[in-house]
Amino acid sequence: MAETAAAVRAEFTKLRGVRGTFAALLLFAPASLLLAALGGWSARKAIESHSALLRPDFTPEQTGLDGVLYGQVALIVFAVLLVSSEYSSGMMRVSLLAVPRRGRLYLAKVVVTAAATVAVAAPVTVLGYLLTQFVLGPHGADIDARGVPRALAGAVVHLTLMSLFAAGVAATARGAVVPLAVLLPMMLAGTQILSTVGATKEMVRYLPDRAGLRMLTVGSDHAFTGFVVLLGWTVAALTVGWLRHRRWDG
């Protein structure tokens, strides 16, 4: 147990020492809060001008979660870089000399990915919601409105599982290029586009990011189903990543 704790501490130290990885983690907060403010401002202007551009399904409660939804791109980049950087740089050999048991090293990376994500996701999710409601002014909603506390908690879980999913994909690929080339387009537009196509609309509901969205949808009756589906994807990705890591020969 002491050896595992030491490995986790070492991974936290490496996280703070690698600028690109640490910067991606820190970027999540300003990006999410900026998008939260812009979302609230845009919605308020549309409401007060009776603009047809206001989306028909607008609710202040759901808009309060849009910032972290798009800001999660930074967390995906963070998770991928945290796991993949040592493979591409060759530093994995040094890490294995310090922590010979590959399972312990992999577990340490997973723990740090999850802990760091929760540490930034929890406060930023709440602050982003409050900021959106503040900008919405009289059109805003309270943080204890029906369904909001569960959706806020679901958002943190969603962000954490998506980060771990990205970490597993990065360990499988042993690099950053392929995971980022697949995950970022998928999250930004890919699955959303597929969800509008009749032939793929039903299938897309079971892809990781779309399933996870149910957890941060205020008033959703399928939040638990979304959690189970995303958890399954995450466990599968981490398992395949572990198998690849165990067979890594440099």
Q: b/e per residue, 1-35, with b = 16+ CB within 10 A?
A: eeebeebbebbeebbeebeebbebbebbbebbbeb
- Using pLDDT thresholds of 50, 70 and 90, give the confidence band for residue 233: very high
Q: Is the pLDDT of residue 195 over 60?
A: no
- Using pLDDT thresholds of 50, 70 and 90, give the confidence band for residue 249: low
Closest CA to 125 of 18, 202, 32: 32
Specify the pLDDT at position 235.
96
The percent of residues in the chain predicted with pLDDT above 90, rounded, is 51
d(CA 145, CA 25): 30
Per the structure block, which two tokens stand in for 197?
């196509």
Q: Taking all residues of the chain, what is their mean pLDDT, rounded to a whole number? A: 86
d(CA 9, CA 28): 22
Per the structure block, which two tokens stand in for 9?
């501490």
Per the structure block, which two tokens stand in for 140?
């805003």
Average pLDDT of the residues in 114-134: 97
pTM above 0.85, yes or no: yes
- Using pLDDT thresholds of 50, 70 and 90, give the confidence band for residue 104: confident
Specify the pLDDT at position 3.
79
- Using pLDDT thresholds of 50, 70 and 90, give the confidence band for residue 166: very high
The conformation of residue 142, written as its DSSP 8-state character, comes to -
Per the structure block, which two tokens stand in for 109?
């990376």
